[in-house]
Amino acid sequence: MKDSPGIGDKFRQYRFEVSHLTVLLVVLMAFQVFVAFIHKSSVERVLERTQVWYQQDAAERLANLTAISLELLLEAKRQNRNLSELEIRKTVQDFNIIFSQHTLQQNVQDICVLLNRNGRLVRIDNGQSLFSAMYREHEPAGETPVLPGEEGALFRTVAAKLESEEQTQTIVEGGESFHVFVPFVPRGEFVGALYLNSSLDLSSISNAMIANYDETVLTFSSLILFGLLAMYYISSYTLKQRDKALTQLFEEQKQHLADQINHQKEAYFTRRIYHTHHKAEKIMGYIKEDLGNLTASSLGEVKQRVNKYASFIARAIYDMKWYDPPVQSVRGPLFTAQVNDIIRFLVDHVFLRLSRYNASIRFELDLDPSVPAVEVNEFVIWEILEPLIQNGIDHSGTDKVLISLSSSYHPTGKVTRVVIRDSGKGIPAELLQVAPDGRQMLFVEGVTQGLGDKEHSGYGCFIAYQIATARCGWTIAAHNHERGGAEIVITIPHA
């Protein structure tokens, strides 16, 4: 059972480049700035809420303390008691001390007692006025009973709640100014409220804490930044060294691959030269035989035949000069070749000249006279057809074989099809399979059906396929005929 890849193996299959590290560094720094900004905003909100809570609590405590002090002092001096002049002055002085002590504090802007007197709101901010209002039940001379100020308007908004609940009410203005109303209940009777306006400024403390936080964040971010930069430098240097080593390895592999390809080309070229030399050697034997049997009556026929033989040998020698000959030497408007004539010549003057095949090999031709000429060198066509026909003879697997050659022109598709069929045992199934490069295994270099000269077999069909497809633009397909035997179809397109 195959072990499943681990986490390390999964990560090792990915390559991190300098650009990846750069993006990672930028993202981390952006996250750090974003987190610092969010944290700073949260701290500022906490400080602001804490400051508001503390200011309100301090103002309410001070107002409650003042109201309680005044109520206790009034409780100590009963209303129906006859006070001497000295006691009156002493009481007024105590009231003034309570009012003045709180107004001396920096954060207290205003402090007074608001009383309802016969439907009018009276402001009392000194001891004499408070004594007159509470003990003599009349407004002191020289005081202004009508209260048109801001505290009067604010008091009217909370008056009903003060009287019904008798709890401290605070109105916050702008987050800095606190208007505190404490129910004023001397001797258990609600008569008004103690008003205190406090503006406690804690911005210096908040600013100091924010500045300290900024300094901490800056230091922390700088350390992270320097750490990331150090990691970035080390990682980028390592990646550069790795890329340099990979580049050198790639160049070595490239050179090795180029050498290997050149070696394969040279090996293939050498085998192709040997294969062509073998064909040329056979044709030279025909030339010698024709020259030895030359008579006056056969001079014209032999001359024409020897001329074609010589042209084929010249083409074979020309192919020995080039691994990949120029296109203009293979096809073009300068060439006009009749496929039917080439097939007849190969059958009559190449294959039927072999005396050892005369009794066992028969040829059957079915050539369409409407097949048009092709703009391909006729000896290149010879190099394509001859090994395919020879392959049908060599690998038929029977003592007697019938080679059927047919051609047909299809004007609708503007193509000519040449079919080479034998009456042998057919092509093995493994040779009809398609190789990774798209060709059938029969046309792969070095693949043979296992008959004939094994040392040099397997190149005829390969060379024919290479010339037909790569140089002429034709297509070749092989299959087994339904009535037995192998069948090779060559498709030739026309312009």
What are residue 468's phi and psi, to 5 degrees?
Answer: -65, -45
For 439: left if phi > 0, alpha if psi spans -120 to 50, otherwise beta; the answer is beta
Confidence of residue 419 (pLDDT cuts 50, 70, 90): very high
Model-level pTM?
A: 0.49
Alpha-carbon distance values, 323 to 147, 174, 273, 412, 465 (Å): 116, 93, 10, 37, 15
Confidence of residue 1 (pLDDT cuts 50, 70, 90): very low
Give the integer Cα–Cα distance in Å for 350 and 383: 13
Instruction: Answer yes or no: is pLDDT of 198 > 90.
Output: no
Contact status, residue 239 vs residue 18, Cβ threshold 8 Å: yes
Contact status, residue 486 vs residue 424, Cβ threshold 8 Å: yes
Instruction: Answer yes or no: is pLDDT of 103 > 50.
Output: yes
Position 278, amino acid:
H
Helix axes 203-292, 18-76, angle to 10 degrees: 160
Between 91 and 265, whose confidence is greater?
A: 91
As a whole number, mean pLDDT of residues 453-478 equals 79
Instruction: Answer yes or no: is pLDDT of 494 > 80.
Output: yes
Confidence of residue 141 (pLDDT cuts 50, 70, 90): very low
Give the three-state DSSP class for 464: helix
Instruction: Answer yes or no: is pLDDT of 44 > 70.
Output: yes
In the chain, the domains with their CATH numbers are 21-201 (3.30.450.20), 324-493 (3.30.565.10)
CB burial of 432-443 (b: ≥16 within 10 Å; e: otherwise) equals: beeeeeebbbbb
